[in-house]
Amino acid sequence: MTYASVVVDRLIRGYQQNLSPRKGWSCAHRVAHGGASCSAAVRDLVAGRGVARSIVPTAARFVACYQAAALLAQTDVRGVCCCGGIPIPFRF
């Protein structure tokens, strides 16, 4: 990994460990579609491609997360329970 990749990886890891648990909500893309959160997906991109080649896929992921948030906002989803690898929305 390049120096820039290491720095970005450490910044994302710091966000995941310190800010994300305290913000009070989950990644909309992960809630709507399952799989990795945006921060985990971007961290994997940077590790595999480097910083420069991760810019476009990262932007695409954030757009997809925005669209997932808009999709979830249209529903009355209060949480998600996972059955195997399938996220099941529920309302209470």
Check residue 65 and give its pLDDT.
Answer: 92
pLDDT at 61: 95
Contact 68, 31 (CB under 8 A): yes
Condensed to tens digits (0 to 9), the pLDDT of residues 34-57 reads 999 999 999 999 999 999 999 999
d(CA 80, CA 13): 24
Q: Which residues of the chain have pLDDT under 50?
A: 92
Q: What is the pLDDT of residue 75?
A: 74
Could you tell me the residue ranges of all domains in the chain? 3-90
At residue 92, the pLDDT reads 46
CA dihedral 23, 24, 26, 31 (to 10 degrees): -160
67, 74 in Cβ contact below 8 A?
Answer: no
- Report pLDDT for 21: 87
Q: How far apart are alpha carbons 58 and 64 in whole angstroms?
A: 10
